[in-house]
Homo-oligomer: A and B are copies of this chain.
Amino acid sequence: MTAFTPQATDYAERVRTTFDRQPFMAALGARLGDVAPGAVDIHLDRRPDLCQQNGFLHAGVSTSIADSAAGFAAFSLFKPDTDVLTTEFKVNLLRPAAGDHFVARGRVLKPGRTLTVCRSDVFAVADENETHVLTALLSMMTMPGPAA
């Protein structure tokens, strides 16, 4: 894993401030976890209203936290006075998202001036065990204008 050097000294605070301004993450009950340069985790607890007809987490929910974790991982490497926008992503659903606790791990694969390519993986967490339920590849774009 390459170690990345952030361009903003207050990168972690910028991530946390911007996360707190995302109404949809709050609506899902998602919580920000570890924040490092190019690596951001998001945690989510299962709620019945986030599920499909069969009781598994809806793919839209696991995708939402995967997308946000990757977006913030990219954003952590951006210059001050920039914002982040997802331009595209691909998701493979590896297993039904069964479980009570989930973590999305967004990781930068390749930073870029315009486009930053990320991977994001969602795991169901139970005791000490993690089950891999989703893997994604995502492209994030640097936008002008302050996000925080």
Task: Give me the interface of A with B, judged by CB distance under 8 Å.
Answer: 18, 21-24, 26-27, 48-54, 58-61, 63-65, 67-68, 83, 85-96, 109-110, 114-115, 117, 119, 132, 135-137, 139, 141, 147
On whether A64 and B67 interact (CB within 8 A), knowing A24-B50, A48-B23, A109-B135, the answer reads no
Instruction: Report how many copies the assembly holds.
Output: 4
Q: Chain B residues near A86 (CB, 8 Å)?
A: 59, 93
Q: Chain B residues near A26 (CB, 8 Å)?
A: 49
Closest to A143 in B: B54
Kindly provide the distance from the CB of A46 to the nearest chain B CB, expressed in whole angstroms: 11
On whether A89 and B90 interact (CB within 8 A), knowing A60-B60, A60-B61, A114-B114, the answer reads yes
